[in-house]
Amino acid sequence: MYRRLKQGFADRTGRAAPSRGACSGVDHVPDFEPGHHIRLLTFNIQVGINTASYHHYLTRSWQHVLPHRGRIENLDRIASLLRNYDVVALQECDGGSLRSGYINQVQYLAEAAGIPYWHQQLNRNLGPVAQHSNGLLSRFRPLDVTEHRLPGLLPGRGAIIARYGDADDPLVLVIMHLSLSKAGQARQLAYIHELIADYRHVVLMGDLNNHADELLTNTPLKHANLMPLPATAHSFPSWRPERALDHILVSPSLEIRNSEVVSYPLSDHLPIAMDIALPKGYLETF
């Protein structure tokens, strides 16, 4: 059985991450160079449930508790999308319980997509019923990966922080899934802002359950100097996108080459993609 590491990063086999490019089944793990084109994606996968209408929240609600034969097919379709990206943030994954057929969905997607490094954060442990998790998939080996419990009235929200490159001036990726309430979001983002305040190169990505103008104006993120996606980048609900709840926010030092909402309606959220480049002269290689 897969044993999740408490600290550090895991490779496709669940062991401590080996040297770059040494993963079994991976032909080449690329270097990260100044100006290198990095493809990012964030996706709330709703534990592999295919939701295409509001009434599915009722008629397919049992799939949040019990296994469904179409779930693996949905995960395989998600993996086919993930193959096109270098770093992937996942929300609403199952870490291996009855409803997922005891499959760690983060590990499964990493293996199916051919992405060598992955990390699962277990945020709400309901034993054999559900293992609510965030996930990070990466083609590049990070310096380190840490887990953080986000404050809130109800436990079960978390963030993953991965640092890449130069330890003295790293690229910092933050993956998280925020609470629904504005008060809860403000407390959680105050916590996150404290963690990222001293870094120059930051990418904050995930399901933030609010619009960017609200997050960057009326929460502690207003002090973070992050650039949002266009206000029209609506990701929810996937069958008729009207709200911009999923985000990739980046520091001005990172050049945005492209950004888009990906038309891939498998979950109740659409994925968000962004291509960025590190500033020239930042470092020689990752």
pLDDT, tens digit (0-9, with 9 covering 90-100), for 76-102: 999 999 999 999 999 999 999 999 999
Burial of 154 (0-12, 13-18, 19+ CB in 10 A): exposed
Candidates 61, 114, 59, 62; CA nearest to 86 is 114
- Beta-carbon count within 10 A of 251 CB: 20
Instruction: Give the domain ranges of the chain.
Output: 10-20+29-277
Q: ω into residue 237 within 30 of 0, thus cis?
A: yes
Q: Do residues 278 and 36 lie in contact, with contact meaning Cβ atoms separated by under 8 Å?
A: yes
Q: What pLDDT score does 1 carry? A: 29
pLDDT for residue 65: 80
pLDDT in tens, 220-275: 999 999 999 998 999 999 999 999 999 999 999 999 999 999 999 999 999 999 99
The sign of the torsion formed by the CA atoms of 46, 49, 51, 54 equals negative
Mean pLDDT (whole number) for 24-35: 45
Model pLDDT, residue 260: 96
Q: Which long-range contacts (CB under 8 A, 24 or more apart) does 101-105 make?
A: 101/67, 101/71, 101/72, 103/72, 104/2, 104/4, 105/45, 105/47, 105/48, 105/75, 105/133, 105/135
Stronger pLDDT, 152 or 106, i.e. the higher one: 106
In this predicted model, what pLDDT tens digit does every residue of 50-65 receive, in sequence order? 888 888 888 788 778 8
Residue 155's pLDDT band, with cuts at 50, 70 and 90, is confident
- The reported pLDDT for the residue numbered 102 is 95
Of the two residues 173 and 4, the one the predictor is more confident about is 173
pTM, two decimal places: 0.87
Name the amino acid, one letter, at 6.
K
Q: What is the pLDDT of residue 63?
A: 77
pLDDT score of 135:
98
Most confident of 43-52, 147-156, 239-248: 239-248
What superfamily in CATH does domain 10-20+29-277 come from?
Answer: Endonuclease/exonuclease/phosphatase (3.60.10.10)
Contact 131, 162 (CB under 8 A): no
The answer to whether 99 touches 64, Cβ cutoff 8 Å, is yes
Q: What is the pLDDT of residue 7?
A: 35
- Average pLDDT, rounded, for the chain: 86
- In the structure encoding, which two tokens stand for residue 89, read together? 């943030």
Higher confidence at residue 85 or residue 37?
85
As a whole number, mean pLDDT of residues 144-152 equals: 95
